[in-house]
């Protein structure tokens, strides 16, 4: 049994009866890192939030299953879900300045997690906060714990967010573009920290990003999202060495190499309000299949652990 299993997950806008995440399925073993890759508006972050049963305003859950360590998330009551969040699964958000509470110190915010999930005395919580800050590489933890978010640099704020996510000792971590607002040096530091946590604490990670270089470096396997669905899924090395879907191929070819972009990815993600009946990538595809105009391709297995949604492989 996989540690994380997502089966036919459908999320959408209830008012418009529109699916934004459409029959998404994947699984993840303990200690694996899954990279979710795609352009903005492909449904990556919505899928990540759904793993915690959290939704932005207007988004609703239609159907599907999320099973974490043999626990079916969508069969739990709200009270049971709250106990699971932070303890079994936690999330790192992409903008720590707007995600952290500006009127509470870093230490107070981490301590709130400890209060909710553990029966610790006040001095024990304080020591645990300092320990967590030290673990994520924040210098002078006793001083930094008294700082407010605006008093920290972007890199330290992101580390504080990671410390808060780790406070409940979760087994699964969702990282929603955690390096987007950071410069390259800080990005490397945060990525190395997550990789270290994955190795030392056996932390299973779902890492969401539009950056191919980051996904290639950190992930064991990759799901490529396009217009709310998975179009390709494979182990990282296999996917980058042998991309099958035209969208994946275009993404890889457009990535800067030797200070040059080989190719610009043309057009934009299809408008899901005008979702085509056939292949959602049909209009952008440079070598479209005839069947793709009117028929919607299924996600099929081409070889061991390599799945693709394209008629040319059917």
Task: Kindly report, residue by residue over 101-149, the tens digit of the pLDDT.
Answer: 999 999 999 999 999 999 999 999 999 999 999 988 899 999 999 999 9
- Coil, strand or helix at 214: helix
The band of 49, judged by pLDDT with boundaries at 50, 70 and 90, is very high
Q: What's the pLDDT tens digit per position in 75-94?
A: 999 999 999 999 999 999 88
DSSP 3-state percent helix, strand, coil across the chain (nearest 5): 35, 25, 40
* pLDDT at site 22: 93
Q: Is 173 exposed, middle or buried (0-12, 13-18, 19+ CB in 10 A)?
A: buried
* pLDDT at site 1: 84
Q: What's the pLDDT tens digit per position in 52-74?
A: 999 888 899 999 999 999 999 99
Q: What's the pLDDT tens digit per position in 204-230?
A: 999 999 999 999 999 999 999 999 999
Q: Is residue 58 a contact partner of residue 15, using CB atoms and an 8 Å limit?
A: yes
Q: Is the dihedral of CA 305, 64, 67, 247 positive or negative?
A: positive
* pLDDT at site 259: 60
- In the chain, DSSP assigns E strands to 4-13, 18-28, 33-37, 59-68, 71-72, 89-92, 172-176, 204-209, 221-226, 229-235, 256-257, 260-261, 300-303, 306-308
Q: What's the pLDDT tens digit per position in 240-287?
A: 999 999 999 999 988 777 665 556 677 778 877 778 889 999 988 888
- In 14-107, DSSP assigns E strands to 18-28, 33-37, 59-68, 71-72, 89-92
Torsion of CA 94, 97, 98, 101, to 10 degrees: 120
Domains of the chain by start residue, with CATH: 4-88+170-313 (3.40.50.300), 99-169 (no CATH)
């Amino acid at each position: 049994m996989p540690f994380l299993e997502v089966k036919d997950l459908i999320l959408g806008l209830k008012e418009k009866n529109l699916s934004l995440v459409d029959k998404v399925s994947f699984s993840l073993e303990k200690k694996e890192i899954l990279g979710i890759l795609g352009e903005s508006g492909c449904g990556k972050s919505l899928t990540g939030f759904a793993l915690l049963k959290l939704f932005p305003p207007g988004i609703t859950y239609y159907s599907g299953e999320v099973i974490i360590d043999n626990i079916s998330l969508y069969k739990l009551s709200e009270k049971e879900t709250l106990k699971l969040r932070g303890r079994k699964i936690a999330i790192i958000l992409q903008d720590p300045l707007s995600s952290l509470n500006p009127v509470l110190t870093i230490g107070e915010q981490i301590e709130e997690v400890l209060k909710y999930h553990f029966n610790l005395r006040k001095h024990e919580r304080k020591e645990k906060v300092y320990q967590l800050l030290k673990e994520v590489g924040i210098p002078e933890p006793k001083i930094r714990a008294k700082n407010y978010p605006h008093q920290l640099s972007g890199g330290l704020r992101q580390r504080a967010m990671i410390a808060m996510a780790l406070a409940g000792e979760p087994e699964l971590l969702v990282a929603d573009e955690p390096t987007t607002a950071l410069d390259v040096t800080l990005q490397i530091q945060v990525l190395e920290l997550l990789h270290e946590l994955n190795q030392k604490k056996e932390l299973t990670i779902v890492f969401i990003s539009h950056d191919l270089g980051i996904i290639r470096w950190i992930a064991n396997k990759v799901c490529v999202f396009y217009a709310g669905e998975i179009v390709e899924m494979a182990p990282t090395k296999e996917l980058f060495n042998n991309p099958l879907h035209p969208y994946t191929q275009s993404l890889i070819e457009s990535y800067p190499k030797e200070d040059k972009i080989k190719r610009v990815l043309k057009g934009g993600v299809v408008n899901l309000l005008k979702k085509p009946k056939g292949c959602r990538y049909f209009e952008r595809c440079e070598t479209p299949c005839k069947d793709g105009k009117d028929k919607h391709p299924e996600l099929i297995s081409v070889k061991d652990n390599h799945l693709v949604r394209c008629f040319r492989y059917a």
